[in-house]
Every structure is written in structure tokens, then in C-alpha cells.
Amino acid sequence: MFCPSCGTLSFPNPKGEIACTNYKCQYNGPANVVIKGADGKDVDLSQAKSSTAAKGRVFQVVKDSDERHGVLTTESYMCPKCDKMEVFAYLEQTRSSDEPETRMLTCKNCKHGWREY
């Protein structure tokens, strides 16, 4: 809520009254704030209620941490085991920060993994 006198951000108490935090204003009283709603009607914000109730979420746990793939590339790398050209690739910092990243590669066909430094 904002102070109706000076516009300073103030928080109402449970009764809907605000005490302005601006030491020059010192407004104490009801937060008589009326604004235009989305439908064009006046809305009295002193009657507004807030809720902290958590709403239920629908989620699914995916356990694929052992199968980290990366981005599928074609025609860039060849699997040394099965000679296929579809390879998942991602970069990982395996050494100190002043060293370049390591490219981690996994074959889409046979799941063979290897590194490129």
C-alpha cells in the first residue's frame, strides 16, 4: 500500500490502517485507496486480502542423471566404437579455470562415451 498523503510505500496492519514511514508525513489512518479495476469499476484496496496458501503442483521426477547427453550433433564427430555420426556432446570444466573445457561425447547408437581435450 502507498500512503494516501505522500505516496510512500507503507504496510497496513490487520485493521487496514497504515502508519506512514515518512518522518515528514506522519500519516496514521485508513488506507483509502481506490483504483480502477480491469473491468473499469472502482476497487477499494483497503479491503484487499492476500493469501500465502501453497497451491498444489503436478510434477514428474525424471531420474536421468546417469544418462547425461548434451546436444545431438551429426557429421561433426564419429563414434570410435561403432563408426556412427550421431553423437551427443557437451562441455564440462574438469580442470582448473585457466585450462580449456573438456568436450564430453556420447554415441547415440551404442552409448559409448569418450572425451576430447
What's residue 82's pLDDT?
Answer: 92
What domains, with CATH codes, occur in the chain?
1-48 (no CATH), 65-116 (2.20.25.10)
DSSP 3-state assignment of 45?
helix
Q: What pLDDT digit, counting tens, does each position of 27-50 carry?
A: 888 766 566 666 777 766 556 666
Q: Tell me how far CA of residue 97 lies from CA of 28, 74, 93, 102, 114, in angstroms.
A: 57, 29, 7, 12, 21
> Which residue positions in the chain have pLDDT lower than 70?
1, 31-38, 43-51, 60-68
Count Cβ atoms below 10 Å from residue 49 Cβ, excluding itself: 4
d(CA 48, CA 36): 14
Task: Say whether pTM exceeds 0.75.
Answer: no
